[in-house]
Structure 1
């Protein structure tokens, strides 16, 4: 197959390299011309474009069998609510709109933030749980991006928790320090939500699995066998160990307050291989 990877960050690069090693032709994209030469180590071709540039993407992806949308907002560009609205819409919704016009088979890497606090239904959060928190930018624009992708019958949405473990990625301790440095020690997420996290290798493997198995529709991707400690429990423990002030949780980006089920994708043969990265804090 000919696969277009929209966004050659850590996940995009690893995914492109694995797909090419498996015999697929891979075209990747970057917004930075100076990165093209290095990215050619991972993909057969690399083009310079933004996901919002619909005509450019349509031309670059001509003849592709699938487009994998790995783009994600840059937290450093989202200090204010106004910046979050503009940036999330630009990066997420416009990219998915362009992708689904260029190819009917789109796989989009989405977020658990679409569920809000998970609602009041009994049982774990599943793919049938209604989405919520439609005014907060992260949740709102991930939902709108998903709708773009799912408007085609071949669309596939993979919902992930926070990712960790990519080369050069910030540790959870460094994330706390960054929160103090850039946001005055204020975290925009929920204190009591379980801190689901997924290793970037599990993300890459999930996308490959969705492509190979031709999955369509919506799938939660996380450890289906364990429930992690809450954001407050984890980050309080980190702050104590690092002698930092505790974070203040603003509860703007709500997250489910209970178990999130990944039973649907587990039933197709996928399973995460990395354990909870913060479990050691409570041993």
Structure 2
């Protein structure tokens, strides 16, 4: 099929485009800077510069590509992680999930849409620790980001498309900033570290996306590995794999002013996600069934 990957030069796009090309699809991939056109072309895609926040730029790029499927992978997460000021850190990504999504849908015509969402620790903070697609996301978990995600999911599913709630990414280029903080012992376990998180390797996220594209899937799918885990388990293990000292532990009263409410919620109240629906309906099987295997292979 003709597949248009908006955000093809991003951390997931760089793993997704080669998989689509290898499966025989004709891929057009976008980047916001001309400096990355050559990289996308080397992957086998037709490369184009596009500003996802400019409706005319999006319309022109999509019309030229004439895609049968549009994959929305546009984000703008750059620089040192700033969980304390989450809304500021994710401001442009939130716009891409609202305005950018609207621009893509307006330009899509008859093309099927598959869009990136997020499902790592932001399940509703009540009830069980592991959520399915039938459970709502927590509307207060990540500030303005939760509002943006809700908008994306509502408009894409209303249009008959697929929403992929990826877990926390790891793999080439995905956790470098976190690992750097861990090695400096600047990534502590907060409180009891009992908040759960779901992870997914970039290559597994890409393979699930390929299946959603090829099946023109509709609805919401959690794209996560088989082992949701609390922070008190995955964070020390990640530090070990990175050759770092065990993370420090800080109490809640100190974490609230230092790390901010998002970090506290993630570490102490986070709800993770089940991948049963993606396995059952997409036929997806993650290569890295657990972050334990993946962290070890990536960092040791």
**Greater helix fraction, Structure 1 or Structure 2:** 2
Any unmatched runs of 5+ in structure 1? none
* Rounded Cα–Cα distance in structure 2 between residues aligned with 1:179 and 1:243: 7
The answer to which structure, 1 or 2, has the higher relative contact order (CA under 8 A, 6+ apart) is: 2
* Rounded Cα–Cα distance in structure 1 between residues aligned with 2:80 and 2:148: 15
Instruction: Tell me: CA distance 1:94–1:238, structure 2 relative to 1, closer, same or farther (3 Å).
Output: same
| SS across alignment from 1:67 | strand
Name the structure 1 match of 2:163. Answer: 157
Preserved contact between residue 40 and residue 46 of structure 1 (Cα < 8 Å): yes
Instruction: Tell me: CA distance 1:98–1:178, structure 2 relative to 1, closer, same or farther (3 Å).
Output: farther
Name the structure 1 match of 2:202. Answer: 200
Alignment pair present for 1:262 and 2:272 = no
Preserved contact between residue 202 and residue 274 of structure 1 (Cα < 8 Å): yes
Residue among 281, 285, 293 paired with 1:271: 285
Preserved contact between residue 4 and residue 61 of structure 1 (Cα < 8 Å): yes
Name the structure 2 match of 1:221. Answer: 223
Name the structure 1 match of 2:117. Answer: 110
Name the structure 1 match of 2:12. Answer: 11
Residue among 100, 120, 123 paired with 2:105: 100
Name the structure 2 match of 1:84. Answer: 89
* Rounded Cα–Cα distance in structure 1 between residues aligned with 2:50 and 2:184: 29
Superposition map of 1:133-212 within 5 A: 133-134=139-140, 136-153=143-160, 155-166=161-172, 170=176, 173-177=179-183, 180=186, 185=187, 191-212=193-214
| SS across alignment from 2:27 | strand
Instruction: Kindly tell me the number of residue pairs found equivalent between the two proteins.
Output: 273
What is the TM-score of this pair, normalised by structure 2?
0.77
| SS across alignment from 1:278 | helix
Cα deviation, residue 58, structure 1: 1.4
Cα deviation, residue 55, structure 1: 1.5
Cα deviation, residue 137, structure 1: 2.9
Q: CA RMSD in A?
A: 3.2
* Rounded Cα–Cα distance in structure 1 between residues aligned with 2:28 and 2:6: 9
Instruction: Tell me: CA distance 1:83–1:258, structure 2 relative to 1, closer, same or farther (3 Å).
Output: closer
* Rounded Cα–Cα distance in structure 2 between residues aligned with 1:43 and 1:21: 9
Instruction: Tell me: CA distance 1:82–1:110, structure 2 relative to 1, closer, same or farther (3 Å).
Output: closer
| SS across alignment from 1:131 | coil
Name the structure 1 match of 2:52. Answer: 51
What is the TM-score of this pair, normalised by structure 1?
0.82
Any unmatched runs of 5+ in structure 2? none
Instruction: Tell me: CA distance 1:167–1:102, structure 2 relative to 1, closer, same or farther (3 Å).
Output: same
* Rounded Cα–Cα distance in structure 2 between residues aligned with 1:179 and 1:102: 46
Preserved contact between residue 124 and residue 271 of structure 2 (Cα < 8 Å): yes
Instruction: Tell me: CA distance 1:263–1:142, structure 2 relative to 1, closer, same or farther (3 Å).
Output: same
